[in-house]
Chain A
Amino acid sequence: MFYDEKPEQRLRFGDIIKGYIGITPVINVLDVDVRNCDFNIEVSYPEFFVVLTPCCSIEKKTLIIAPLERVLGSFFLNPYFVKDLTGINKKMTAEQSVSPNIFKSWSSEEREKRVSEEPHFALTEFFVYEKHDLLPEYEINMKDVENIKTKYYMVNFKKTFNIKCDLINKNGDFALKVLQLSLGSRNDLRDKIGSFYSSRPIEDIVEEAVK
């Protein structure tokens, strides 16, 4: 069960909510004197957002959110993901992490090295939300193959931002809540966003090993 069948009124980590706006500051020219900065603020209107504030930190009229987005068409080129797109949220083997064509295209040495590793997360910036009747179906344009209709959605942790709203507090009702993750799915989201921030770039590991 991906979603909680009896959602609470209060906000929880991973909730899908609506009624917010997306805001992205874009700085065109940086200057130490902020009065000379050239910037604009992009405003977007996604229908749904995901709450990324940890449950115990939801208070003081502030919330960390990211837009709920359509999934990438390229996910459907991997048969392991096609079976269940929420497999992207869990640890997987190297063979499961790419399409068979990509796997075969690796040199035998690279294949051997990757296969010898323990199951890991892949695509650490994404967490996929399961289909639900409250989430509208949409069509993805595919290259060279038939277009795909789906109700899967995802959140991209790279698009996280902060909002303020008087209606936000720890225990209060929240009328604009749409769906709540089940306990297991919320744990999966916690693990996945943890892996996004804890992944160490290969150059740092090599540098550390050389020291």
Chain B
Amino acid sequence: MSIFDEDKNIANITVEGTGDINPSNISKIFSYPFGQYEIKVALTEKNEFVGINEIKVNKSFLDYKNQSIQAGYHDVGQYYPE
């Protein structure tokens, strides 16, 4: 059976509180583009891997490209007017 919700193309993977995988450890969710998928990875405060939070299909090509690329600088100039 597919792990994907057919309607939403989203797989929700629940992190259970066993072993080292403890939801209370999760500090942030890192969005990682992988092929046509976008994988959301849960990390601790020290950037240690906790688990996969969500996998979804990118349907919009440009959105996916924008997710997968980084300009290499924070584009925040508009917030600092002269």
Contacts and interface: CB of A to CB of B under 8 A. Distances in A.
A114 interface: yes
A209 B69 contact: yes
Interface of A is mostly: mixed
Interface residues of A, number: 32
Contact of A74 (B66, B68, B73, B79): B79
Interface in B23-78: 28-32, 62, 65-77
A199 B73 contact: yes
A68 B82 CA distance: 15
A98 interface: yes
B81 interface: yes
Interface string A179-210: 00000000000000001001111100110011
B76 A205 contact: no
A199 B76 contact: no
Interface of A: 72, 74-75, 92, 94, 97-99, 102, 112-118, 120-125, 195, 198-202, 205-206, 209-210
Given A102-B76, A116-B28, A121-B74, 12 more contacts: A75-B80, A98-B79, A112-B29, A112-B31, A121-B73, A122-B73, A195-B72, A199-B72, A201-B71, A202-B66, A202-B69, A205-B69
